Amino acid sequence: MNIHNWKAIIEGLLFAAGDEGLTSKQFCSVLELHAQTVDDIINEMKLDYESESRGIRIIEIAGVYQLATKKEHAPYFKKIMETPMNNTLSQAALETLAIVAYKQPITRAEIEDIRGVKTERPIQTLVTKTIIKEVGRVEGTGRAILYGTTKEFLDYFGLKSIEELPKLPENTSEESVQEEADLFFEKFVEAFEDLP
């Protein structure tokens, strides 16, 4: 395999890893390459990304490589982050929001146990849009963040309080729970489409 293929694979791995990033050791394990080869490829990629035509770069923090945006573009990122909610949420974000709404306060690990997949990005999206927020920390080792809904959540869905959420069915089959969840997510989508 040539260097361009390795660069493409590393770029894809970094993108998939998101904020968690990857260590040189993880790259070596996945790519079955020596550490020096991985370091050489990443260093060459860093130089490639320094071009003015590129909007991202590779950073290394505490031995972990991540994709990051360029600092000189920060004013544009700030504008997009400050823009009020103007689009619908992804299915993953809606599922995460429904779990938080019904199970709050809840940790990311608990959400992931329910969804069966990672939820870092959906949580980040919901926090950025001020629909959920940190409401505390779990006592004990690690002190995981607890998430809950915000006043904005209630405003968006026209609720006076969290108690106005539709009641979940009790003692139902897995199939009917899935149907209820699908219906609930459809209502979420419709509510967000009606927002200005």
What is the reported pLDDT for 187?
61
Q: Average pLDDT over the chain, rounded to whole?
A: 82
For 85-140, what is each residue's pLDDT tens digit?
445 778 888 889 989 998 999 999 999 988 888 888 899 989 988 899 999 998 88
Q: Provide mean pLDDT across the span 27-55.
A: 90
State residue 177's pLDDT score. 52
**Residue with more model confidence, 142 or 38:** 38
| pLDDT given at position 17 | 84
The reported pLDDT for the residue numbered 171 is 58
**Starting at the edge strand that comes first in sequence, how are the strands of the sheet with 145-149 ordered?**
106-107, 145-149, 132-137
Confidence of residue 10 (pLDDT cuts 50, 70, 90): very high
Residue 21 has pLDDT above 50, yes or no: yes
pLDDT value at position 196?
Answer: 44
Angle between helices 35-49 and 3-17 (to 10 degrees): 80
Taking residues 41-47, report their average pLDDT. 92
Question: Could you tell me whether strands 56-61 and 106-107 are parallel, antiparallel, or unpaired per DSSP bridges?
Answer: unpaired
Task: Tell me if residue 131 falls in helix, strand or coil.
Answer: coil
pLDDT digits (tens, 9 = 90+) for 47-94: 998 887 888 889 888 888 998 888 888 888 777 766 554 457 788 888
Residue position matching structure tokens 């600092």: 71
Q: What is the pLDDT of residues 152-189, one digit of tens each?
A: 888 877 788 888 888 776 655 555 555 655 666 666 55
Tokens of 75: 């004013």
Q: What is the pLDDT of residue 189?
A: 58
- Residue 153, sorted as left (phi over 0), alpha (psi -120 to 50) or beta, turns out to be alpha
List Cβ neighbours of 63 (8 Å cut-off, separation of 6 or more): 23, 24
Per-residue pLDDT at 39 exceeds 60: yes
Domains detected in the chain: 3-73 (1.10.10.10), 84-193 (1.10.10.10)
**Side-chain-side CA neighbours of residue 133 (13 Å):** 7
Q: Within 10 A of 45 (CB to CB), how many other CB atoms are there?
A: 20
